[in-house]
Amino acid sequence: MKKGFWTAGALCLTIGIVLFVVGGFFSSGSKDYQTVERSFSGGIRGISIDCSAEDVYLRPSTDNQYHVFCSGSEETEFSIEVIEGILTVTSDQEFLENLAAWDFGNQAKITVQLPVGNSVVPLESVTVSTASGDVLAAEKLLLRRCEITTASGDVSFRAAVQGRMRIESTSGDIFVEDPSKTPAYEFILSSTSGDLTLKGQTVSAIVVESTSGDMLLEDCEFGTLTANSVSGEIDLAGVDAEECYIQTTSGDVSAGLRRAMDFHCSSTSGDIETPASVSGGLCQIDTTSGDIKVWIYSRNSVSQSDQK
């Protein structure tokens, strides 16, 4: 009897949340939609964005100024101000409130346009924190440090970072590619269940971590590469690393490396296939039940992920 009571209560609570959200969806047509805009000519050394459900866009500006565009339901209060040289943008609406006020034709978003060009000094830091919104950083932007945190939103990052970058996501996918191939000092990419993709990067030290999401590192150059996964697969295609440390529990490892290395690979129950090389930097790959396949990469070789 008591079990049935709690089950019914949980069902009622779930139905209530669903009706609240759906009611917001169907009533969104009657809600006013607002856009807040601010522009700044200079004196900015960093950017901080803290929001809940809004998507965040970092894009180049065309007039050497900083522009901020915030759009969302009328219930959202956006704050845009410069605090000790940091352009600070926040929204105060809770996730469920913003979700219920969401309009299919007008997704809530925050767009910040940054000056670009050879005469522009790179921003010292950019931090973005969001619960469910996606984060997109366009190419041509140059930053010294960047930190992005999201729970369920995806991250697509094509800007250049000279120093340190950290991206953390719980279930969202992470995609990083720098068309300019600007050398960076340190990257830390972490996701629980989302996939991680890194292309065309040159980084002195990189740490990539995932629980169940897959990893793809392609056409990259690293000083030291550290990759850890529990059940996700790790695929390296055209990676050049001075030192390489990879560890998984049940995920397979497929590594197409540009150079011969001193390979030390171990698996409790999985298969191992590596080149007969004992010279060069250390390449340590350990897994419990996953398979390990390592080969010297060429443009004509095919990665394990492409064969599936």
pLDDT for residue 74 = 86
Q: In which band, very low, low, confident or very high, does the pLDDT at 42 lie, cut at 50, 70 and 90? A: confident
Please write the tens of the pLDDT for every residue from 3-17: 454 555 545 545 554
Alpha helices per DSSP H over the chain? 2-27, 95-100
Average pLDDT over residues 157-161: 97
Average pLDDT over residues 230-251: 97
Of residues 305 and 72, more confidently modeled: 72
pLDDT of residue 59: 98
pLDDT at 56: 97
Instruction: Give the C-alpha separation, 158 to 188, whole Å.
Output: 16
- pLDDT of amino acid 298: 81
Six-digit token pair at 101?
């006020």
Cβ pair 232, 250 in contact under 8 A: no
- Please identify which residue in the block is written with the tokens 């190419």: 139
Place of tokens 């950017």: 47
**What is the C-alpha end-to-end distance of the chain, expressed in Å?**
51
- Whole-number mean pLDDT of the chain? 87
8 CB-contact burial (10 Å; exposed 0-12 / middle 13-18 / buried 19+): exposed
CA-CA distance, 307 to 298, in Å (whole number)? 16
Residue 31 in this model has a pLDDT that exceeds 70? no
Alpha carbon 86 to its chain's center: 22
- Structure-token pair, residue 305: 């992920």
What would the mean pLDDT of 204-231 be, rounded to a whole number?
Answer: 97
- What digits encode the pLDDT tens for the residues 178-211? 999 999 999 999 999 999 999 999 999 999 999 9
